[in-house]
Amino acid sequence: MWNDGMPRAQWGAVIGASLAAAVFDMMQRRIPNRLTGPVFLGGLVWSLYACGWGGLRDAFAGGVLLALPFVVLFVCAGGGRRCQDDWAVGKCSNS
């Protein structure tokens, strides 16, 4: 994927999206989904274009793997009602 002669475009997209996310985070204390969604989908499309179906599979698996800790934190720490105390003892129950 990195030997296709377009590293400037790839790094430009990564750095541009990271700077935009940093500005949103500093100004609003959040990163909007209207930024993260298109960047994620753009990465999937680029992986499909650059490496075919295997690249798409690997990119999607990497995205799921990297998102997993945030999903666990949302469910156990923010999305659950009594999970702050449960998190401290190493369990999570949403009841």
Listed by start position, the domains of the chain span: 7-89
Helix (H) or strand (E) holding 85: helix 83-89
The pLDDT, as a whole number, for residue 20 is: 93
Radius of gyration (C-alpha) of the chain in whole angstroms: 17
pTM: 0.66
Tell me the angle at which helices 33-73 and 7-28 cross, rounded to the nearest 10 degrees.
Answer: 80
Residues 6+ away with beta carbon under 8 Å from 42: 13
Tokens encoding 41: 């989908």
User: Residue 41 in contact with residue 63, Cβ under 8 Å?
Assistant: no
The Cβ of residue 89 has, within 10 Å, a number of other Cβ atoms equal to 7
| Mean pLDDT, the chain cut into blocks of 10 residues (95 residues total) | 65 89 90 88 88 90 86 70 49 45
**What pLDDT does residue 69 have?**
82
Q: How far apart are CA 75 and CA 17, in angstroms?
A: 27
What DSSP state is assigned to residue 13? Answer: H
